[in-house]
Amino acid sequence: MTGKKIVKQDALIKAAQEARKHVYAPFSKYRVGAAVLTSTGEIFSGCNVENSSYRLTNCAEVTALTKAVSEGYSKFVKLAVVTDDGGYPCGACRQVIWELCGDIEVLVVDKKGRVKKERSAKLLPHAFKLNVT
Ligand code: THU
């Protein structure tokens, strides 16, 4: 059981590290890779893709989740984000993670592979969610 969990976590981090190789960040030079694990075991990854019109930049977490949702996946159990400095997801990404994943485990990883674990509910307390009936 524990072994299986570790393999999944390692695979998720590896996918985020791989995606990070494709970053397009000529403006900030801040390189971010992310990967999300679906409830059925698939992994989708993504990187940040910047734009000279700055606010059109896509964050890595959003890229990964958008890829997964657009391929028909909607249940997620874990997300990994890799940067040099082990930075946490930005506020906008926290909102997107909460919207699409609910309360999942978020692995925040630095360039040395050091992992910090946090729940998405804790990253975004008192989260906004539209209640429509
Ligand atoms: N970035 C991400 O990809 N994810 C985050 O959670 C924080 C910020 C990207 C956006 C931009 O390309 C660069 O990092 C600097 O903000």
What residue spans define the domains of the chain? 9-123
Cα–Cα dist 57/118, whole Å: 25
> Tell me, what's the pLDDT at 2?
64
Better-scored residue on pLDDT, 51 or 133: 51
Q: Phi then psi for 33, rounded to 5 degrees?
A: -120, 145
Residue entry with tokens 């494709």: 22
Q: May I ask the CATH class of domain 9-123?
A: alpha beta
pLDDT tens digit sequence for 4-49:
778 789 999 999 999 999 999 999 999 999 999 999 999 999 999 9
Task: Provide the 10 A C-beta neighbour count for residue 18.
Answer: 14
Active site residue 61: yes
Selected catalytic residue, list 61, 71, 99, 105:
61
- Ligand 1: which of 29, 59, 61, 96 to mutate, most ligand atoms within 8 Å of CB? 59
Q: pTM of the full predicted structure?
A: 0.96
CA of 107 to the centre of ligand 1 (A): 16
CA of 126 to the centre of ligand 1 (A): 23
CA 72 to chain centre: 17
| CA dihedral over 75, 79, 23, 125, signed as positive or negative | positive
